[in-house]
Amino acid sequence: MNTLYMEEMRSVAAETLVAEWRNEFPILRIRVRGKPLVYLDNAATTQKPRAVIDAVSRFYARDNANVHRGVHALSQRATDSFEAARARVQGFLHAAASDEIIFVRGATEAINLVAQSFARPLLVAGDEILVSAMEHHSNIVPWQQVCRQTGAVLKVVPIDEAGEFVFSEYECLLGARTRLVAVTHVSNALGSVTDIARITALAHARGVPVLVDGAQAIAHLPVDVRALDCDFYVFSGHKCFGPTGIGVLYGKRERLEAMPPWQAGGDMVRSVSFDATEYMPIPHRFEAGTPDISGAIGLGAALDFVSAIGLTAIAAHEQRLLDLASVGLERIPGIRIVGTAGRKASILSFVMDGVHAHDIGSILDRAGIAIRTGHHCAMPAMQHFGLSGGTARASFAFYNTLEEVERFVDGVRRVYEIFQ
């Protein structure tokens, strides 16, 4: 059997699998402006499989009740499902225990929680927090706020012209006053994959804890928080085929147990009097008020769905999509790809000479192709590349097809022809 034939058979098998995966996403069958939807805005939010939609609907139809301490059957069922979702997250991240998993509204809230509960009590004037130049605003602004509150200083690890983390500068910036490193696992604007294990090892050698923003990594790369040895890892459910409004903060037990609650109210207390309050142990001390129960259940279903496919298979397919799209765009005159790191996830940012990114996005929308345009909540990264108008960004998921990539490339070529 010759090599070409074998490769063709593998390609056919892969496309058959993708068709099966796509069939689980009802929204992918709709038409936009009379055209079949090509959804390439997965870095902003992913679509939801039927398993997630059904899990949320089933909860509200059969089990809706508040969790924890209820003695009636519905409350017990809701609590069991909610805590089972926590256990699913633990397994997905390879955390040591389920009580290291805290449910929050999203990665943004998780970072703010760490900033205010972990960092702020430890910081004094002159202390330093390190971030990279390619961070999402959610991993910049909370640290700016805590620096203003404490007199600490925010230091920035630069990126190079490929959009890669500059380790030589990082090692120079790590110093006696460094109190925390907060860095993205995958850049939402560039697709660059950072070497978290190396970042963490260098920081820990100096006694510095590390927070990882995993919002863009969680649906594309296997994540093992114990292998990475990070102190905190955060992600949002909606970036991983789960509902909006639910997210996760993973923290090492010893870190979480030393942190005071950030928000106070119901369900995070063991006892209350007008003289004193005793808080619940982790994770409940960080989950004040009624949580997003259905969101957690939906997230658990999403992680089960992703696990059934396998992140290795997902990464391989998405790499094919990224490679095909990159080659296609490079053949169009006036296109510059922004973010050319040696290791990238499925994000493709680009600009076209003489054409605003918003115009690219609007013209593609007329063809039923959804991409994102602008600064992508990463203005410092855009400033690094001198891009005042931002970029056009296509971001891929495992349900995207090679045919959709070809439609996207043809659409960008049409934009070029319109503006000539």
Residues forming the active site: 377
- State both tokens at 229: 């040895």
Q: Which residue matches tokens 């070809």?
A: 406
Identify residue 114 by its one-letter amino acid code. Answer: V
Q: Which helix (H) or strand (E) holds 104?
A: strand 101-104
Contact 295, 243 (CB under 8 A): yes
Contact 213, 183 (CB under 8 A): yes
Beta strands in 139-227 (DSSP E): 153-157, 178-184, 210-213
Torsion of CA 377, 379, 385, 390, to 10 degrees: 60
Q: Which residue matches tokens 């100096």?
A: 206
Long-range contact pairs involving 20-26 (C-beta distance under 8 Å, separation at least 24): 21/309, 21/398, 21/399, 22/399, 22/401, 24/49, 24/50, 24/51, 24/305, 25/49, 25/50, 25/399, 26/50, 26/53
